[in-house]
Structure 1
Amino acid sequence: MSSTTTGQGAPPRRRGLTARGRRDAIWFLALALPNIVLIALFTYRPLLTNVYYSMLDWTLGSANATFIGLGNYVEFFTSPAGHASIRITVVFTLVTVGGSMVLGLLLALALNARIPGTAIARSAAFAPYVLSGVGVGLVWLFIFDPDFGVLAWFLRQLGLSSPEWMNDPTMALVMVMVVYIWKNLGYCAIVYLGGLQSLPQDVLQAAALDGAGPLRRFWSISLPLLSPTTFFLLITTMLSSLQAFDILRIMTPTGRGTNALIFESYLQAFGGYSRAGYSAAISVVLFLMLIVITVVQVRFVEKKVHYA
């Protein structure tokens, strides 16, 4: 009796991997290991190297560098230029993300109408998103030129004078925000259009039979059901705006009034200052900001998303 009890109470033996399990593990390593190695070499290694550089007082091209710990970070967070860069980044991101998503949703509602020519209109709306940021910036520079630009000519017809878009820091920021919203408007519109076309039509028809008008159906049914699409666009457009560079560099080469974090990092390293260590510190700040924003969105904002 005791031997039976002891046998029943003994812990079960751990079984090793079966032949199929070992074969699957080998295939997994064979397929995943090259990608893991590439990611480690070209993503995480440069990231860690950049963190190390951010703790150096190093002039770009110099063979010598001095370790100063968190000195670059202290300078960035205590200097007026650092505060201005953070403020510009926040304003630029909020305006471009909000403008692109709101206008993109309105454009998607228009493109969702079943009228002739919508296919051409959809292609035309999405086209700016796939264009080069350099080309877009150069074209819009001509439009915003205060002397010979198209916008200046139009304002003169109304008896108004054109603002000095390039010389006024505030107007320069407005200018690049307008261009960035225009470029990304088609992306938001097409994604929202896909969400609108996937809405359950029986629910909308039932609401219409119950007497709900178009506006009521949109606010009470369509918009909540579009929350997964909105959540996706919120993450992608915010990350894109925080890393916006090409349009800012082309339209405002000196960064006067438009020096968001990534542009400020470029200016500090390659814009005449040659402060590689300080530039690396700004890049690390931007990286941490991206992580925090993504975690907050996934952790808290996603709770308000209706997937069903």
Structure 2
Amino acid sequence: MITRPLSLISPDRPRARVRLLLKGIATQLAGLVLALGCGPLGAEAVTERMMSGTAACEAQQAADWITTQFPNAPSHSGVFEGRLEAETPVVLKHAQVSQARYGVSIHERVPPLDPRIALIDVSISDLRSANAFGGGIKTHSGSPGVELFLVNVTINPNWPHWVSYAKTNYDGLVLDAAAAIYAQNLTVNNWNADSAIDNKAEISQFVNLVISGPGHRPIRYWRPGPHFLVDADISREGTGPLLWFRHCEATTVYIYNSVFNGEPRVTGPMVQCDEGTAPNLVYLPEDPVKKGKMSSMFRRCPKG
């Protein structure tokens, strides 16, 4: 069997790749606490779900589902300073990453090909870069078709504040050439620079997504989708768009029980189009998780 290692690039020697064969590590980070968001929520329904045990129950169900879907994938845990080069398929669980230009850099280069990665209870924070580029989680055009499954992931990069693409092209997640992202309880705080999620995935499904803090644009949608935002709370400090679209009319986002700067609907100034004038934003009257419209990773728990 081929061992698919996780490697680390030292922040002090960014070109020196030191292979860390971490298969079977059972490190327990007892003190790891992943915040569900720092900003005030703008709708009682969203607040109730995130503050109750419901979100935790649903996150546990999603984590259990991932375990069944990744039975033979290496699983890695630990506290890391510097970039993690993750070869798929792989599960990164109970991990903290900091002091990197790209926190988790995802590749599919070693046969047999299985371009899937899962992150469970992962915190990425305090990133740094010697140039104008960086991100908390990064997929690559050289490894197309990656599918990401995230549960209880917090990205708090604390990048420098946005100036321009030439100086501060930093993001929370950079999903170049990704096939899909499925995320339960994803929080992006204080991305500060370009995008909290630079979403180039063909499809994206977010449940309990929280984005807050200053920055240029919380989400950039490059592909038509369909995309889902369920129980989401998306905000930014100051004025400017919340959602950017490469092709507005061609892109569909299904929205359920979500708030945008505290409002239940995305209004005109919250949208920016590169081409076109209005994206296809569909406000669903019924829960798409309960209706089976989303990945089977997402399941509801009783309120409580």
**What is the TM-score when the length of structure 2 is the normalising length?**
0.20
In proportion to residue count, which structure has more strand?
2
**What is the TM-score when the length of structure 1 is the normalising length?**
0.20
With CA pairs under 8 Å and 6+ residues apart, which has the higher RCO, 1 or 2?
1
In proportion to residue count, which structure has more helix?
1
